[in-house]
Amino acid sequence: MKHYQLHPEWQMDLPEEFEKRKEDEHLIFWKPGMTILTTVFAYSGEGQRKTLLANLRARAEAEKLETVEDQTGDLVLFGYMQPEQIQPGHQRLALHAFTTARYGCLQTSFYLDQQSDLREALLIWKSVQHITPPAEE
């Protein structure tokens, strides 16, 4: 596994075979069959985190998407799986995974050519860590 500092407050571990590049504010990792797009955004506190999670849950419910939800310490994880038609006869699975902290979120979108790679995507998502910056004195 290789440790990546995605942002001053966010870290993630990935298997060695992933390549990476930066596009605008996104870090993108890929290997044959799997692409991962990461996006970091901030909000002003717990109220906005709750609103974000409520909106994500409502969207997933409205579209009847399978969801994954967990809590690790202060982090609330919410994700949904969405099949995507790439071209006629070719479909991929997208897992849109949100790791929410009190003042920010890491969105990690996994694009999988094979559904059998879902387990690996979930393990990568679970490796995400949030580092709280030290309080200013």
Question: Taking all residues of the chain, what is their mean pLDDT, rounded to a whole number?
Answer: 94
Split at pLDDT 50, 70, 90, the class of 63 is very high
pLDDT bin (cut points 50, 70, 90) of residue 134 is low
pLDDT tens for each residue of 29-55: 999 999 999 999 999 999 999 999 999
Q: What is the pTM of this model?
A: 0.93
**So where are the chain's domains?**
2-23+31-130
Gyration radius (Cα) of the chain, Å: 15
- Cα–Cα nearest to 78, from 55, 46, 111, 62: 55
pLDDT in the model for residue 16: 95
- For 2-23+31-130, CATH number out of 2.60.40.10, 3.30.230.10, 3.40.50.620, 3.40.1000.10 equals 3.40.1000.10
Is 90 exceeded by the pLDDT of residue 132?
Answer: no
